[in-house]
Amino acid sequence: MHNNAKRRGLSFLLILAMLFVSVAVMLPVATSADPVEFADFGVQKLAALNLAGDEDTDLRFVFTVGSLDYTEVGFVFSKTNAAPTVGGDACYKMPVTVVHTQIVADGNTLTADPGRYWVAVKMTDIPHSYFDGALYVRPFVTDGLGTRYADAALTSVCDAAGHVHTIDEFEHERTGGTAALDVAGTIVGNCPGCNLEVTFNDVKAGVEYQKWIGGGGQARMYDRRQISDILAGGKHFYPDASNGGLGNDLVVEYSILWNETLLNLSADYNDGARLLTTFDTTNGGFSGEYRAIAYASLTNNVKDSGANFAGAFEYPSGLIQTSEPGDPHPGMTAGGGAYSDYANVGGTDRDHPEWGWHRIGVIYHEDVTNLNAVKGGAAATYKLTVSIYIDGVLVSILSGDHLDRGNADYKLFTATCDGNGGVTYEDIDEDIWVFAFLVHYVTAPTADAWFADGDVFVTAGHDFVHPVTRIANPAARTETVGGQDFNGAFYYTSAGAHDHVWGSLVNDASHAADCGHAATQSIHCTICGAVKPDSTVNLPIDPSLHNWGVTPVRIQEPTLLEDGIDRYTCTVCSATDDRAVSYEHSVQIFTTSTSGAYSPNGATVGSIRGSKHFYDEGNDLMVEFSILWNESLTHLRDDNSDNYKPYMDSRFATNAAGTSGNNNIVYWSLTGNIKGSDCKFPGGFEWGGIAGDPGDNPYPRFAGAYNDITAYPNLGGYNNGDGTAQVNDLYGWHRVSIRYHEEVTNVAAVKSGSAASYLNEMWVYIDGDLVLHTAETKAISKQLFTATGGGGSITYTENDSYYFHGAFLNSTRMKTGTGYFEIADYSATIGSDFVQNVRRVNNPTPTTLEVENGVFIPSTMWYELDN
Amino acid sequence: MEKKIYESAEIKIVLLNRDMLITSGGSLGENEWDEFNFNQLG
Ligand SMILES: [Zn+2]
Ligand SMILES: [Zn+2]
Ligand SMILES: [Zn+2]
Ligand SMILES: [Zn+2]
C-alpha cells in the first residue's frame, strides 16, 4: 500500500502538476480500517487559467482514502485560519459521501490505486482579486472514532499555477512602498504576471537608463502618468471634503544620476538636451499639446535657454504668463536670481560638479484668487506656483496666472459659479498625461551619454512620497549603469529623520593618498552617509605609496646563474620597481612506462637569423643549453630502436614538432652503450647527419674525440661500456655550446656555373671546453643555405622555413627506475658569440635539487660566466 | 443493516449504521464534481 501510494502520488504529480507534497499519513489509529487515510492530496488549476486576464477561476482539490469505512470525508477551508478544523473559526467544511475510483479532472482521467478512492471537490468563482489570497486547505475523514486531518496546506490560485510574482524594478507605475534608491525597503506594485498588487521586502528601487550613442540620436527618456492614475481612489485636485478643503498639488519627484557624459549632449536648445516636467494630451510627449512646468538643462550652455549650465533650472519660458519675459526671467519670485545661483544638480561650483545621485522635486500648486467673485458669477482667476527642490532643498519658486501658449491650459482644476452663490470645481481632464520628466529628442551627442533615473513618483497631495535631506559630503560610491561606472554618491538621503550613527574613518575617494593623490578620510553616518563634523582628515600626497601594477614586464629572463628582473610600473606616477625573479626549475620525470619528449624553442632558420645571413663570414648558428646530468639518465633504455631513443640531438626539420624531414647535425647520448650508436657512453658526442659514408668507427674526422674518455670530460662521466669507470663523474649542471658553420668552398667555380660544394664545420664545447671539432665537405641534406651561380655571380638561398631544434629528445623511457631530466637556458642565435660565455669550474660546491618529495639529485654548477 | 466491528487491544468500535458510510460512486465525470462557491468561505 505504501509503495503504491508513493508511486501513485508521483504519477499524479506529473499529470496534474500538483503543488502539494503527496502525503501518506499513517495516523496512530490502530482501529481504523484504513492504514493510509490520506494520500494524493493535491490542487489543480484550470488548464486554461489566465492569471493576468481571468476575472475568476476554479480550483479542484483532491485526495484519496483507502477505505469506505468513513461516515464523511472531505475538506475544510479557511482564508485566515492556518489550521482549519470542522466547525473551527472562519472555517468552511466541504464534505462528500460519495468517493470515486476514477475522476476526470480538467480533461485528465485519473484512476485511483486499487483499494483507494478519490475525494474530489471543486471551488468555483474565485475572483481575480483573490488569486494571490491565502487558501488554507485540510483533508479530513470522520468515522466512529471522530474526525482526523491531514496537515493543512497553504495555497492560492497563483501558487496552484506555479506562478512566482515578479515586479519590474524599473516599473514606475508601482503604487508605493518604502524602498528607495538609497534605502532598502518594500516595493508595492502590480505583478505583470497576475495583475495583482504585490509587495517585495528588503529591496531597493531600481535604476532605469538610456544610453545615447555618440553621433546618433532621436531617443527620448521619460516617465509618465495619466491624471486618472494620479487621482485614483477618488482624489481631487480641487478643494473638497476629501482633502479637507485644501485641494491637492501635483507632486512630482525623481532621482537622476547626474554624470559627466551628459555634457556630451548637444547644447542646442532644439536638440533636446532639456529635462522637462510637462503635461501632454498624448503619451508621446511633445506630440500633442504639451505644456512644461519646469525645465532643467542636462548640459552646459543650452542655446536659447536661460539654463546656462548643467543642472540649472529655468523658468519655463512662455508657459506661465508674465508681462516681462527676460533673462533671467523676472517671473521667478523667490530669492531673485534663483536660476543662476543655487545648488543645481550639476554642482554649485561649476568647476566642481557634484556628479552622483540627486533628487528632483516639483510641486505644482493652484489657487483661485477671486473665489468670492466667482461665487457671484465672475470668471475665475488663478495663481499657479511651481516649487522646485533639489536634494530636498527648495531652490526655485515660479508663479504666474496661467499656462500660456496654444489652446491647452493645464490648470489642475477650474472653478465656475454654480448659479446658487457657490462654486463648481472640475479637475483637469483625466486623459491628460503628466511626464515626471521628459528628455526630448536628443540628437547627435558628441560621445556616448547615459541618462539614469529611478524612484519616480507622481502623486496628488502636498508631500513627497520620499522626502529627502541633502548630504553635503556623501560617501564615495560607484554606480554601474549600462556597463559603465559612474560616481554614484548619493547627495541626498531618504532615510528620514534619524540620529546619525557614526561609522569608522574611511577613505572619501576610491583611493587612499598615494604618490599622485592627496586624499581625505572622514567618518560617515552609516544610515545616510552624512559626514561627521570635524571628522575629516587630510592625507597629503605620499611619494612612497605607489600603485604597482599587477602585471610586471619581464626585463630579463632568469637563468641558472643569475636572477631575472621583473619591472613593475606605478599606475599613478610611472615610477618603476625592478624585482628579482629566480629561475624556476621544470624537471621532466620519465618512468618505465612514460616516454619523455623534449623539444624546446624549435625555431625557423628565418626567425633565428632575422636580418642577418648565415652566408656572411662570421655568422654561424650558435646553440647553447644547460643539462642537468644525473645518474638516473643512465637507466634509460639503451637500445636504439624506434620506440626508445635515449639520445638527444640538434637537428633541422621541416615541421615545428621536429619530427618530419629531420636531419641531425650532432648526436649526444643520454645513457651508455646505445645499441647501433657510436655514442658508447653517456654524454658522448657523435657527429651526425652526414649523408653517406657512415662506415668508419670511430669516424676518422673525430680526431680521437669520442673514444678518449679521459681527455674529454663528457657529461655523463659514467663508463665507456666495458665496465671501466670514467674518471670524470661530474653529475650536475653542464653547459653545452655548439657552433655550426656552413660555407661554400668553391665560390669562384660557382660563379662560373659549377655546382656548389659546402663545408660544414662544428665545434662542441662542454662547460667552455672544446670537446669536439668536426669539419666535413659533404653537405648534409638540410642546410642553412644553398648557393647557385653563373655569369660571374653567386646567389644564396637561405632555407628560412626549416625548423632548427638545438636540443631535441624524441620518445624515450626508462629501462629501470625513474629518470629526471631538465634542460635550461636554451638559445639558438646567429653570430659568433654565445649568449652565455662560460668557463669550467673545477671544484664546485656540491648542491642538490629536490625533484620529488625527498628525492634529491646533484645540481652542482660545473660552469660559471666567463665575463 | 450490516455491522462491522474493528478491534484493537485498547478500543472497540462498532459502526452501527452502514448506510451512513461513504460509498463509491465509480467514475466521476468532468462536470459531475461537487462544487462550492468561493464566497462560501466568508
Ligand atoms: Zn512504508
Ligand atoms: Zn503575480
Ligand atoms: Zn544620518
Ligand atoms: Zn607612484
Asked if the model's pLDDT at residue A445 lies above 90, the reply is no
Contacts of A235 (CB under 8 A, 6+ apart): A242, A243, A248, A460
- Do residues A418 and A424 make contact, with C-beta atoms less than 8 angstroms apart? yes
| Distance from residue A512's CA to the centre of ligand 3 (Å) | 24
Q: How many residue pairs from chains A and B have C-beta atoms closer than 8 A?
A: 112
Helix (H, G, I), strand (E, B) or coil at A29: coil
- Region A279-286: mean pLDDT is 74
Cα Rg of chain A, angstroms: 46
Asked if the model's pLDDT at residue A77 lies above 60, the reply is yes
Q: Give the closest of A102, A103, A126 to B38, CB-based.
A: A126
Ligand nearest to the CA of A2: 1
Q: Is A124 on the interface with B (CB under 8 A)?
A: yes
Grid coordinates given for A375: 461665487
Q: Which of A344-353, A381-390, A670-679, A702-711: highest mean pLDDT?
A: A381-390
Give the pLDDT of residue A752: 95
Provide the CA A411 distance to its chain's centre, in angstroms: 49
- Do residues A798 and A777 make contact, with C-beta atoms less than 8 angstroms apart? no
Give the pLDDT of residue A684: 60
The distance of A506 to chain B (nearest Cα, Å) reads 58
- Do residues B28 and A118 make contact, with C-beta atoms less than 8 angstroms apart? yes
Helix (H, G, I), strand (E, B) or coil at A148: strand
Tally of helices (H runs) and strands (E runs) in chain A: 6, 55
Whether B34 and A90 lie within 8 Å, measured CB to CB: no
Whether A123 and B4 lie within 8 Å, measured CB to CB: no
Q: What's the rounded Cα separation, in Å, for the pair A319 and A15? A: 65
pLDDT tens-digit map of A726-766? 445 678 899 999 999 999 999 999 999 999 988 888 888 88
Amino acid letter, residue A434: V
The distance of B36 to chain A (nearest Cα, Å) reads 5
Amino acid letter, residue A415: A
Q: For residue A125, list chain B residues with Cβ-Cβ distance below 8 A.
A: 37-39
Task: Report the percent of chain A where pLDDT is more than 90.
Answer: 37
The domain defined by A39-160 carries CATH number 3.10.180.10: no
Asked if the model's pLDDT at residue A326 lies above 60, the reply is no
Residue A24 pLDDT grade (very low, low, confident, very high; cuts 50, 70, 90):
very low
Strands B34-37 and A117-127: parallel
Grid coordinates given for A770: 672544446
- Which helix (H) or strand (E) element contains residue A747? helix A747-751
Q: Give the closest of B9, B13, B34 to A145, CB-based.
A: B13
- Region A38-60: mean pLDDT is 93
Q: For residue B12, list chain A residues with Cβ-Cβ distance below 8 A.
A: 31
Give the pLDDT of residue A119: 96
Give the pLDDT of residue A2: 32
- Do residues A280 and A288 make contact, with C-beta atoms less than 8 angstroms apart? yes
Q: What's the rounded Cα separation, in Å, for the pair A453 and A210? A: 9
Q: Which residues surround ligand 1, an ion (CB under 5 A)?
A: A 2
Q: What is the dihedral of CA A471, A473, A474, A476, to 10 degrees?
A: 160
| Distance from residue A334's CA to the centre of ligand 3 (Å) | 30
DSSP 8-state assignment for residue A548: B
Contacts of A455 (CB under 8 A, 6+ apart): A180, A181, A205, A253, A254, A255, A359, A466, A494
Q: What's the rounded Cα separation, in Å, for the pair A745 and A69? A: 117
Helix (H, G, I), strand (E, B) or coil at A285: coil
Q: For residue B7, list chain A residues with Cβ-Cβ distance below 8 A.
A: 31
Q: What's the rounded Cα separation, in Å, for the pair A96 and A70? A: 11
Q: Is A144 on the interface with B (CB under 8 A)?
A: yes
Hey, of A37, A64, A143, A148, which one would you mutate to test binding to chain B, going by the most B CBs within 10 A of its CB?
A143
Q: How many CB atoms lie within 10 A of CB A656?
A: 13
Q: Is B28 on the interface with A (CB under 8 A)?
A: yes
Task: Report the percent of chain A where pLDDT is more than 70.
Answer: 76
Q: What's the rounded Cα separation, in Å, for the pair A650 and A679? A: 15
Q: For residue A69, list chain B residues with Cβ-Cβ distance below 8 A.
A: 4, 15, 21
Give the pLDDT of residue A598: 65
pLDDT tens-digit map of A175-229? 778 888 888 888 888 888 999 988 888 888 888 888 888 887 667 788 899 999 9
- Region A455-477: mean pLDDT is 87
Residue A625 pLDDT grade (very low, low, confident, very high; cuts 50, 70, 90):
very high
Q: Is A47 on the interface with B (CB under 8 A)?
A: no
Ligand nearest to the CA of A548: 4
- The answer for A 80-109 residues in CB contact with B (under 8 A) is 90, 92, 94, 96-107
Whether B30 and A78 lie within 8 Å, measured CB to CB: no
Strands A393-400 and A291-297: unpaired
Q: Which residues surround ligand 2, an ion (CB under 5 A)?
A: A 165, 191, 193-194
Grid coordinates given for A146: 471522530
Asked if the model's pLDDT at residue A560 lies above 50, the reply is yes
The distance of A357 to chain B (nearest Cα, Å) reads 49
Residue A719 pLDDT grade (very low, low, confident, very high; cuts 50, 70, 90):
very low
Q: What's the rounded Cα separation, in Å, for the pair A561 and A658? A: 29
Whether A102 and B26 lie within 8 Å, measured CB to CB: yes
pTM for the model? 0.50
Query: DSSP letters of A581-649?
Result: E------EEE-SS--EEE-TT-EEHHHHHTT--TTSTT-EEEEEEEEEE-GGGGGB----SSS---EEE
Q: Give the closest of A71, A92, A120 to B41, CB-based.
A: A92
Asked if the model's pLDDT at residue A101 lies above 90, the reply is yes
Whether B42 and A145 lie within 8 Å, measured CB to CB: no
Q: What's the rounded Cα separation, in Å, for the pair A407 and A281? A: 11
Whether B24 and A97 lie within 8 Å, measured CB to CB: no
Residue A697 pLDDT grade (very low, low, confident, very high; cuts 50, 70, 90):
very low
Give the pLDDT of residue A758: 87
Asked if the model's pLDDT at residue A159 lies above 80, the reply is yes
DSSP 8-state assignment for residue A87: T
Complex ipTM > 0.85: no
Whether A70 and B34 lie within 8 Å, measured CB to CB: no
Would you kindly state where each structural domain of chain A is located, as residue ranges? 39-160, 173-203, 207-494, 502-539, 588-865
Q: Which residues surround ligand 4, an ion (CB under 5 A)?
A: A 515, 546, 570, 572-573, 575
Ligand nearest to the CA of A52: 2
Grid coordinates given for A190: 502590480
Q: Is B10 on the interface with A (CB under 8 A)?
A: yes
Whether A125 and B39 lie within 8 Å, measured CB to CB: yes
Amino acid letter, residue A135: L
The distance of A50 to chain B (nearest Cα, Å) reads 18
Q: For residue A56, list chain B residues with Cβ-Cβ distance below 8 A.
A: 38
Contacts of B15 (CB under 8 A, 6+ apart): A69, A71, A143, A144, B3, B4, B5, B6, B21
Nearest CA-CA partner of A832 in A766, A758, A759, A737? A737
Q: Is B1 on the interface with A (CB under 8 A)?
A: no
Ligand nearest to the CA of A531: 3
Whether A71 and B36 lie within 8 Å, measured CB to CB: no
pLDDT tens-digit map of A240-276? 999 999 999 999 999 999 888 888 887 666 666 677 7
Q: Give the closest of B10, B20, B22 to A73, CB-based.
A: B22
